[in-house]
Amino acid sequence: MDVHVTRSELRGTARAPPSKSYTHRALLAAGYSDGATVESPLISADTRATARAVTAFGGSVAPAGSERGGDGAAAIPGDADAIAVEGFGGRPAVPDDVIDCANSGTTMRLVTAAAALADGTTVLTGDSSLRSRPQGPLLDALGDLGVRAESTRGNGQAPLVVSGPLEGGAVAIPGDVSSQYVTALLMAGAVTDEGVEVELTTDLKSAPYVDITLELLADFGVEATPVDAAGDPLDGAAGAAGFSVPGGQTYEPAGGSYAVPGDFSSISYLLGAGAVAAAPGEAVRIEGARPSAQGDAAIVEIVEEMGADIEWDREAGEIAVERADLSGVTVDVGDTPDLLPTIAALGAVADGDTRIENCEHVRYKETDRVAAMAEELETLGAETTEEPDVLTIHGDASDLTGATVDGRHDHRIVMALSVAALAAEGTTTVRGAEHVDVSFPGFFETMADLGMTVDRD
């Protein structure tokens, strides 16, 4: 699907979708349990993939209040208020068929470790994009723990073959490729017999995503502790030398349910849109923005530093943003890789240079997001400089004009380019716009309600 976005003025109130990161973890955590309800979930292409995996392992998922059983992932409506998960009690069954993770890297990594717990062989695959993403460090770690974990092509990429059962133990893994490897080991390690001790061989990037995992595990009654080089416990994942997870634990949320918070990665597009296109004297208001462990909440401070007028009522979970003349900033995205597309789009509108540093790991997402944003923003008239670990957008040399740009089959690229289109002269066509279904299925409806002039074909 293509969308055609014309420069617009925005006003009104929008609600942020629930967090994709939390929903993935909550669905799998409920799968590890004997049964739990996930309230306020994000129902999207990616989270449906995780729900399918829970079903494949012997659990079931269905809208809360309906009859359980079957492939509930397909039956869950996009506006479901809650999902009832019948878990597999910590030990997944061997799936009857291949698990298709579609385009969801989070699903593949978390489910690969879950598959290692099964007493038999699991095969995992995905679409062409997912089959190009690195899984090698996690496969190596599982192999070191005594599990057969292989890439069928021998290149560290899916399709993957995993044969358990995983009993636990000590393992070393790099922390600078994907924090999802760590999350996968922590979640699976809690239900092993021996527990898992994880040593990081490189500094941990995207530490806030591991903090999300630690927060969610605690809410499900599971202990997992970050430790420093001396083995002493830390309060959070930042600066951790490793993690300790006792075995034999049970996933059991208080009251049998877990509520998913709003998603700050998605909030970033609404916030950015308000900063570049709110009608004069009016604000764009964003509901569902209560504080959590999400590192992407940093977008509020970043946009404010760029010069936007922002008010954040944390208790009410509401942000108000007004249009402003933005100025370039320097941002390190080592812990917040998903913010790069949004920051790049804002940099193309801002005065001066916006320098996005520590971003090499952002090249290993659904697409190379560093190159994608550089190339597509240049199509719109921006000037950029791309280095292996730095992306600079030269706002003073940028003059955005409507053009046809490619969303690269990546939900975040599509939404970020749509934000840039709000400030471009004329109409911008964004190809592959259907990929917003991965994390923000109602994105264009939400933007239209705020006043975006958008047509679809």
What residue spans define the domains of the chain? 3-17+262-456, 20-237
Pair 272, 345: CB distance under 8 Å: yes
Burial 198-237 (b: 16+ CB within 10 A, else e): bebeeebbbbbbbbbbbbbbebbebebbbbeeeeeeeeeb
**What is the Cα–Cα distance from 332 to 407, expressed in whole angstroms?**
24
User: Residue 48 has what pLDDT?
Assistant: 94
Per-residue pLDDT of the chain (457 residues; tens, 9 = 90+): 999 999 999 999 999 899 999 999 999 999 999 999 999 999 999 999 999 999 999 999 999 877 544 455 656 776 789 999 999 999 999 999 999 999 999 999 999 999 999 999 999 999 999 999 999 999 999 999 999 999 999 999 999 999 999 999 999 999 999 999 999 999 999 999 999 999 999 999 899 999 999 999 999 999 999 999 999 999 999 999 999 999 999 999 999 999 999 999 999 999 999 999 999 999 999 999 999 899 999 999 999 999 999 999 999 999 999 999 999 999 999 999 999 999 999 999 999 999 999 999 999 898 999 999 999 999 999 999 999 999 999 999 999 999 999 999 999 999 999 999 999 999 999 999 999 998 999 999 999 999 999 999 8
Structure tokens at 138: 């996690």
**What is the Cα–Cα distance from 383 to 389, expressed in whole angstroms?**
17
**What is the Cα–Cα distance from 91 to 193, expressed in whole angstroms?**
11
Residue ranges of E strands in 89-211: 99-100, 121-125, 148-151, 160-163, 169-173, 196-200
Pair 102, 130: CB distance under 8 Å: yes
φ/ψ region of 281 (left if φ > 0, alpha if ψ in -120 to 50, else beta) reads left
The neighbour count for residue 16, using CB atoms within 10 Å, is 25
What is this structure's pTM?
A: 0.85
Fold of 20-237: UDP-n-acetylglucosamine1-carboxyvinyl-transferase; Chain (3.65.10)
Structure tokens at 130: 């997912």
What is the signed CA dihedral for 402, 403, 404, 405, rounded to 10 degrees? -80
- Tell me if 11 is assigned to a ligand binding site: no
- Tell me if 205 is assigned to a ligand binding site: no
3-class SS of residue 345? helix
Q: 3.30.565.10, 3.90.1300.10, 3.65.10.10, 1.10.620.20: which CATH number matches 3-17+262-456?
A: 3.65.10.10
User: Residue 79 has what pLDDT?
Assistant: 73
For the question of residue 332 being annotated catalytic, the response is: no
φ/ψ region of 302 (left if φ > 0, alpha if ψ in -120 to 50, else beta) reads alpha
- Tell me if 81 is assigned to a ligand binding site: no
- Tell me if 133 is assigned to a ligand binding site: yes
Beta bridge partners of residue 259, listed in sequence order: 39
- Tell me if 129 is assigned to a ligand binding site: no
**What is the Cα–Cα distance from 150 to 344, expressed in whole angstroms?**
37
User: Residue 76 has what pLDDT?
Assistant: 77
- Tell me if 105 is assigned to a ligand binding site: yes
User: Residue 68 has what pLDDT?
Assistant: 47
- Tell me if 52 is assigned to a ligand binding site: no
Q: Would you say how long the chain is, in residues?
A: 457
Please compute, for residue 252, the number of CA atoms within 13 A of its CA located in the half-sphere on the CB side. Answer: 6
User: Residue 70 has what pLDDT?
Assistant: 45
**What is the Cα–Cα distance from 225 to 238, expressed in whole angstroms?**
12
- Tell me if 21 is assigned to a ligand binding site: yes
**Fold match, 3-17+262-456 / 20-237:** yes
- Tell me if 288 is assigned to a ligand binding site: no
Pair 72, 37: CB distance under 8 Å: no
Structure tokens at 17: 């979708």
Q: Quote the radius of gyration of the chain (alpha carbons, Å).
A: 21
Structure tokens at 219: 């809410």
Residue ranges of E strands in 9-111: 12-15, 36-39, 60-63, 82-86, 99-100
Indicate which residue of 46, 296, 338, 353 is catalytic.
Answer: 338
**What is the Cα–Cα distance from 369 to 276, expressed in whole angstroms?**
22
Pair 210, 183: CB distance under 8 Å: yes
The interaxial angle of helices 298-305 and 264-277, nearest 10 deg, is 20
